[in-house]
Amino acid sequence: MQHCCRASLHPWPVQKSPLPAAASQARRHRRARHHTIMAATPLLAFDRLASQPATADPAAAPALIAVLHGITGSSSQYAPFVQHLVDAAAASAGRPVEALVINLRGHGGSRDLPLPPPHTMEAAREDVLALLRHELGEGRAPAALLGHSVWVIDAAAGPTDPAFFNLMSTGLASLESVPQPAESLEVFTQAAADAGLPASVQQNLVSRCEPDPAAPGRFRTSYVPAVAASLLDDYCHTDLGGLLEAPPAGLQLHLIYGSQSIILDRCPEDKARFGAAMATKQESGGDRSGGSAEAVQYWQVEGASHFVPWTHPAELAAAIAPVLAPALADA
């Protein structure tokens, strides 16, 4: 998390700016679904989730965070975890918290936006920055920015061996071969099976399909397979390790991993950084207060794998909330 996100969304001109301009607008949209605002360049769709009133002083202006999903994900998949997070963060910070859960290009509510190629990490970053500038105003930033898989939660900052994602790449290629909308979900399952993918991967791919709103009774993927494949390839070749070695002044980076995750196995530099940081933390008593001034910090959720937002949403939120509290208090 960056007091701000996986560093691919850096640079941001002012990382810890207050958000008074967003406060009244936040009250007007407690849980509006998929705001898609058309402009000269289309803006990404997002969901807005608010902390429950009982978790903090309802009279206080809400602090705002931004949350990003991973490749092939969508805002709706992350809603249960994000609700845990804003509630825990509000209780920890003593003020209401709201989250913009943003759909990346080609995904979820942004699936059909005419955003031009190339579909890269840099392009995805610019999409997100454009949306945040529109929602918050020029020069203002959310109190924190975080996300999963291609961002901060269980993600690598340095280059990753593309072979690590062979199954995912094969799955995306199999889905790309299916004319959409399809007559049934079985069409997607069969395409994945024909590509030689195991049943578990077939199930995962089909779980991210949805009814086509423009074709009743037919189905489509919740993301554009070609866009997802392009983002995945660029993710594997993106090297942001330098940001961990020398983060910009005023920016804190918090990297969070599941203890059972293998995401760093093909990224040795990141794995070495994580191992050294966790060894140091263990020697010092494993502080979880979030009060450390270190610019780059590492956290771990015990018993969790890569899919920690779904398997351990409450535990992940509990780990993040105290880390967020100082930034939320200043927002």
What is the Cα–Cα distance from 206 to 220, expressed in whole angstroms? 10
Q: Where are the alpha helices (DSSP H) in the chain?
A: 20-28, 75-93, 121-136, 166-176, 185-194, 199-207, 225-237, 241-245, 268-283, 308-311, 313-330
Is 50 exceeded by the pLDDT of residue 317? yes
One-letter amino acid at 312 equals H
Instruction: For 179-226, write each residue's pLDDT tens digit.
Output: 999 999 999 999 999 999 999 999 999 999 999 999 999 999 999 999
Select from 128, 142, 146 the least CA-distant residue to 62.
142
Name the pLDDT band for 6 (thresholds 50, 70, 90).
Answer: very low
pTM for the predicted model, two decimal places: 0.85
Instruction: State residue 300 phi and psi, 5-degree precision.
Output: -140, 140
Is 90 exceeded by the pLDDT of residue 54? no
Is 50 exceeded by the pLDDT of residue 62? yes
Instruction: For 12-24, write each residue's pLDDT tens digit.
Output: 322 222 222 232 2
205-212 LR contacts (CB < 8 Å, sep 24+) = 205/171, 205/174, 205/175, 208/72, 208/73, 208/74, 208/77, 209/185, 212/180, 212/181
User: Average pLDDT in the 251-259 region?
Assistant: 93
In the chain, the percentage of residues whose pLDDT exceeds 90 is: 71
pLDDT score, position 329 = 84
What is the Cα–Cα distance from 197 to 308, expressed in whole angstroms? 23
Is 60 exceeded by the pLDDT of residue 289? no
Instruction: For 297-309, write each residue's pLDDT tens digit.
Output: 999 999 999 999 9
Q: Which of 227-231, 285-289, 300-304 has the lowest mean pLDDT?
A: 285-289
